[in-house]
Amino acid sequence: MKLAEITNYLESIAPLNYQEDYDNSGLIVGDPNMDVRAALVALDCIEAIVDEAISTGCNLIITHHPIIFKGLKKLNGKNYIERVVLKAIKNNIALYAIHTNLDSVHTGVNARICERLGLSGTKVLSPKAGLLKKLVTYCPNAQAEQLRSALFYAGGGSIGNYSECSFNADGFGTFKGNEDSDPYVGEKGVRHHEAETRIEMVYPAQAERKILVALFENHPYEEVAYDIYKLENKHQQVGSGMLGWLEYDMDAYDFLHLVKDRMHAKVVRHTALTGKRIKKVAICGGSGSFLLKEAIAAGADAFITADFKYHEFFDAEEKIIIADIGHFETEQFTSNLLVEIIQKKFTNFAIRLTEQNTNPINYLF
Amino acid letter, 85:
V
The predicted structure's pLDDT at residue 261: 98
Dihedrals φ, ψ of 156, to 5°?
Answer: -85, 160
The predicted structure's pLDDT at residue 127: 97
The predicted structure's pLDDT at residue 43: 98
Asked if residue 99 belongs to a known ligand binding site, the reply is: no
Amino acid letter, 263:
M
Give the chain's domains with CATH numbers.
3-103+331-353 (3.40.1390.30), 105-126+240-325 (3.40.1390.30), 131-231 (3.30.70.120)
Q: What is the mean pLDDT of residues 156-163?
A: 92
Q: Which residues pair with 324 in a beta bridge?
A: 269, 305
Q: What is the mean pLDDT of residues 36-46?
A: 97
Share of the chain above pLDDT 90, in %: 94
**Does the pLDDT at position 249 exceed 90?**
yes
CB 364 within 8 A of CB 266: no
Q: What is the mean pLDDT of the chain?
A: 96
Asked if residue 327 belongs to a known ligand binding site, the reply is: yes
The predicted structure's pLDDT at residue 359: 96
User: Could you tell me the end-to-end alpha-carbon distance of the chain, in angstroms, rounded to an integer?
Assistant: 47
Considering only CA atoms, which of 295, 190, 176 is closest in space to residue 239?
295
The 10s digit of each residue's pLDDT in 113-142 is 999 999 999 999 999 999 999 999 999 999
Asked if residue 331 belongs to a known ligand binding site, the reply is: yes
The 10s digit of each residue's pLDDT in 53-80 is 999 999 999 999 999 998 888 899 999 9
